[in-house]
Amino acid sequence: MSDVSRRAFCTTFAAAAVPLLGGARVFAKFDDVRALSFLHTHTGERLAVEYCDQTGYVPDALEAVNHLLRDFRTGDLHEIDPNLLDLLHRVQNVTGSTRPYQVISGYRSPATNQMLRQHSDGVASGSLHTVGKAIDIRLSDVPLAKLRDTGFELRGGGVGYYPASDFVHLDTGRVRRW
């Protein structure tokens, strides 16, 4: 079995086991290097980072992710949930994407979230964006509906589908879809 197909198989198998484990996160041990690439659509910033290795999460890499996914309107930083990064890693493996995640929104300060709520009905007052547990993304080599379906099938949290705005919302809250 090739490394890529082995990885996709293991990721899919592990994701299928999540409901059997009472919602436990898939990566219980650090046996594989996990990397992600991002392109922030509002700032133009790019990041390719190995955020986890055999010893665990890499603090400098997590800080770089926190910086990239900061509230781009205010510059406020917040710790991004490593489980969210693991979910993105699993989605990328299952879909076979080779492109960076295009980030529309990562962390949002409470002030930014409130401002967005005043201008849109689709912004939750208790948004998981405000605690670093949500991200709005797309992948240029994966159809949006497939990205949505994969996110939901992995059951790592909430999945919102916004085809008119061309993005999918993923979070590490309770499993749900809209």
Q: Tokens in use for 128?
A: 């998981």
pLDDT at site 1: 45
The candidate with the shortest Cα–Cα distance to 71, out of 119, 105, 41, 48, is 105
Amino acid 20: pLDDT: 41
Task: Give the per-residue pLDDT at 124.
Answer: 84
How much is the pTM?
0.82
| CATH class belonging to 3-177 | alpha beta
- Residue pLDDT tens, the chain, 178 long: 444 444 444 444 444 444 444 443 444 466 789 999 999 999 999 999 999 999 999 999 999 999 999 999 999 999 999 999 999 999 999 999 999 999 999 999 999 999 998 888 778 878 999 999 999 999 999 999 999 999 999 999 999 999 999 999 999 999 999 9
Cα–Cα dist 64/54, whole Å: 19
Whole-Å CA distances, 161 to 43, 149, 155, 158: 23, 9, 15, 10
Residue closest to 101 by CA, chosen among 172, 41, 163: 41
Residue 66, sorted as left (phi over 0), alpha (psi -120 to 50) or beta, turns out to be alpha
Quote the Cα angle for 169-158-80, to 5°: 70
What confidence score (pLDDT) does residue 29 get?
A: 61
pLDDT confidence of residue 30 = 67
CB atoms within 10 A of CB 100: 18
Note the pLDDT of residue 73: 96
CB proximity list for 150: less than 8 A, separation 6 or greater? 91, 94, 95, 142
